[in-house]
Chain A
Amino acid sequence: MRQLINALLKYKNTLLYMGLLIISLIFLNHRSFYHQSIFSNAALIISSNLNLTGKNISNYLDLSEINEKLLAENIKLKALELIHFNEQSPKNSAIDTFGFEVFGARIVKNSYNRARNYLIIDQGHEEGIDVEMGVISSDGVIGIINQVTADFSSVISILHRDLKINASFKKNGAYGSLSWQGDHPKRMKLDDVSTLNSVMVGDTIVTGGMSDYFPHGIPIGKVLSFEKPELEGYYDIEIELLSNLTQKEFVYVLKNKKKDQLNQLKNESR
């Protein structure tokens, strides 16, 4: 004990310096947006690499389960292919006009129990990923990319209190904005739907075409309950998500090929 105290006294200046240096770095992080972005980028690189190692191990142990899931998805795709060949309709051109490029990626880290959740995926700008691309999974929307390093990207989950997504009803196209209240990872709230439209429990909600990030018509969820406030012109609608974001493994990143044109139009009309 005595030796410990002596050692502490001997290095007290160095320890004091380190402590105050950390305080000043925190200060720097709070005061300057530029430094904040550099720090968070470095933190992303470190945490994504650490998480990748852990994920690799657990993935190896889960291989048989993943195989089953892939098999199920393959069967589904095979069925679609057969239907497609049976129809023999000239719809082949649909793929060419589909304005999005698709990249596959694996989730390295996923969080869903905070008020603002983020995911990390194992594809970065070397593979062509860029910020503000949409991310979906096999059965729903995941989020939007907000930060990219060489090999990894961080994704703002739709389970993020500050993110709003344009969504619409599948049956009649009435649209509103979808946001997460921060309480349950399968519940979201749809605002700004005008009371002129009819709403039923069980209606399907899909992505609206007004977003640059997602194509129109990706299923998001179903109406769980709704309320019609007396004095406002908008419904309060509660949505149950179709996909379970707490157990996702693989995602697809969507690159909007025509985003430049869209941005150009927006800038010109301003």
Chain B
Amino acid sequence: MNRDNLISIFQFFLLLFLQSFLLNNINLFGFINPNLYILFIIVYRLDGNPTLLIILSFALGLLLDLLTQGSGGHTIATLTIAFLRPLIIRFSFGVNYDVPMGMIKGSLLTQRLLYLLLMVVFHHLVLYSVIYFSFSNTITILKNTLFTSFFTFIMTYISLGLFKEK
């Protein structure tokens, strides 16, 4: 077991507990709870095993749903972005991306921001679609997606500075 794996396990549980016990109780303006835990999927090594990531994010979403009495929205949302991640990476970094160490130097700032934004927005869109699950609530879904994505994006961007290697 090497150092990367240990760091991943640590991140997994840290983000899980942070999300379920702290961030889900923020209720900014009554409905905004930034979903920082998807940072785990975002900072997962870009050349890591995608199959493992799908299983891990399923476990992450499921545990979060169980801890927060959620109905299953987080499970489906994290599972979906873990599955779509290779596509999003190819879209934002270009077909011949060659950044083995993740969000580290070697890519343009705009590319990194695009990647981050796409991951966050996709996640929230799926999450709120599953939670509301009806066409008549489209406006609510879009509104929640927009505002919560905005705060998650800011928090994720700030937190990425913490994970950056020296």
- Which A residues contact B (CB, under 8 angstroms)? 12-14, 16-17, 20-21, 23-25, 27-28, 31-32, 34-35, 38
For A21, give its contact among B65, B76, B133, B134 (CB under 8 Å). Answer: B76
- Whether A27 pairs with B54 at a CB distance below 8 angstroms is no
Interface size, chain B (Cβ < 8 Å): 20
Contacts beyond the supplied A12-B51, A27-B75, A38-B134: 17 A-B pairs with Cβ under 8 Å: A13-B51, A13-B54, A17-B80, A20-B54, A23-B58, A24-B58, A24-B61, A24-B62, A24-B79, A27-B62, A27-B72, A28-B73, A28-B75, A28-B76, A31-B71, A35-B71, A35-B133
CA distance A25 to B144 in the complex (A): 22
Q: List 19 A-B contacts (CB under 8 A).
A: A13-B51, A16-B51, A17-B79, A17-B83, A20-B55, A20-B58, A20-B79, A25-B76, A27-B65, A27-B72, A27-B75, A28-B73, A28-B75, A31-B65, A31-B71, A32-B71, A34-B133, A35-B133, A38-B133
Nearest A residue to B54, CB-CB: A16
Main SS class of interface, B: helix
CA distance A20 to B130 in the complex (A): 15
CA distance A116 to B50 in the complex (A): 44
Main SS class of interface, A: helix
Pair count A-B, CB < 8 A: 52
Residues facing A in B27-79 (CB within 8 A) are: 50-51, 54-55, 58, 61-62, 65, 70-73, 75-76, 79
